[in-house]
Amino acid sequence: GQNIDQPTEMTATEGAIVQINCTYQTSGFNGLFWYQQHAGEAPTFLSYNVLDGLEEKGRFSSFLSRSKGYSYLLLKELQMKDSASYLCAVYDSNYQLIWGAGTKLIIKP
């Protein structure tokens, strides 16, 4: 079966750095996405990786290793507004988007 694993919950301190990991086992690979979802709101697109390596976008970076079936989202200079769930998703060979259950990130002052 197809599966995406990410930690259920993480806690970090305001101003610090946090890394959220995602491992996937899918039938084929056509790109990996990270979305942010605040409580009671819709998921919003953060980043997209299709080639190995690091993609940087402001305070957020996303890394992909296709050979390891692994990605991480790195959040720097954490702010209270970064408290949200972070969803990892992979397009399989049929362009079906497979979703992880999400990682709830709690930021403490």
Partner 1 sequence: TAGITQAPTSQILAAGRSMTLRCTQDMRHNAMYWYRQDLGLGLRLIHYSNTAGTTGKGEVPDGYSVSRANTDDFPLTLASAVPSQTSVYFCASSDESGGAKETQYFGPGTRLLVL
Q: Pick the stretch among 14-22, 42-50, 60-68, 73-81 that binds partner 1 (CB under 8 A).
A: 42-50
Least distance (Å) between residue 45 CB and partner 1: 5
CA–CA separation, 17 and 62 (whole Å) = 13
CA–CA separation, 103 and 75 (whole Å) = 13
Residue 44 engages partner 1 in binding (rule: CB under 8 A) = yes
Least distance (Å) between residue 13 CB and partner 1: 26
Write the CB contacts of 49 (distance below 8 Å, at least 6 apart in sequence). Answer: 31, 32, 55, 62, 63, 64, 71
Residue 97 engages partner 1 in binding (rule: CB under 8 A) = yes
Give the residue with the Cβ less far from partner 1, 75 or 90: 90
- Name the one residue in this structure whose structure tokens are 């919950």: 9
Q: Pick the stretch among 16-24, 43-51, 57-65, 70-78 that binds partner 1 (CB under 8 A).
A: 43-51
Residue 9 engages partner 1 in binding (rule: CB under 8 A) = no
Residue 69 engages partner 1 in binding (rule: CB under 8 A) = no
